[in-house]
Amino acid sequence: MLSLLDANLSTLDRGLNYGDGFFTTILVQSGKLTLWDYHLKRLKRAQLQLGFPSLDFVTIKKDADKHASKANNAVLKVTITRGEGGRGYGLPECVKPSVFMSISEFPQSYINFRDSGISIGIAKQRLASGSAFSSIKTLNRLEQVLLKREADSTGVVDLVCCDIFDQVVEGVASNLFWVKDKVIYTSDLDSAGVAGVQRQFLLDNVKHSPYQIQLGKFKIEDVVAADEIFVSNSVLQFAPVNTFNERNYERFPVCRWFQNLVKNAS
């Protein structure tokens, strides 16, 4: 297993040629990895689902800790590919995965997003449904690249993304939650979307909150009728939505509750 930081990527690497790999993005606070256990579960799930050979997660954690310790507030990305080789799509006889790590600055705009909220719209592009890779974070992110371009072109921070059946799935790079009568709703992600670590943190801890949670399949009309909307991802953590569908939101009690919870857990 090859572990590299700021190294040259081989032109024969399957991650580069076919998107044959997966990744996770970790928030670093005061030189420490946040929610590592959740990220580890994500990586292990992707490894099994994509049929990768065994990976040395102990060494991966040590390398991640080493790189995180050199930063204060930052973002550490861990990318794992199937390595080099194989003719066409065929797998090489001996698979040697590569692990790449990169550190970037924490986006300062996220502080304002957490405090004041974000504007979101409704995506025109639809997400593919029924993929065998649903819920894991593979290197194939072209849908999200185009969706982000759509968000930027319409002047919003994020978009509510639906699948080909017009069911609400997620944001462009976030999981989406909305609240009605103290019940939190979110997609079950059965056929599309990414199961984020921050989403899982919420699902694991909602039992300690004054709120209930309901996972399922929902339409955009359900989001429009919400009392409150918020999004999550591993770096942003939780951020309220202040504008959606020409409506302004000013109170975010549910989002604030989970913001305080994750702050104390970090």
- Residues acting as catalytic residues: 25, 137, 170
Q: What is the DSSP string of the chain?
A: -EEEES-PPPTTBHHHHH--EEEEEEEEETTEESSHHHHHHHHHHHHHHTT-----HHHHHHHHHHHHHT-SSEEEEEEEE--B--STTSPPSS---EEEEEEEE--THHHHHHHH-EEEEE-SS-B--S-TTTBS-BS--HHHHHHHHHHHHHT-SEEEEEBTT--EEE-SSSEEEEEETTEEEEE--SSSSB--HHHHHHHHHGGGSS-EEEEE---HHHHHT-SEEEEEETTTEEEEEEEETTEE----HHHHHHHHHHHHH-
**Closest Cα to residue 81, out of 135, 10, 174?**
10
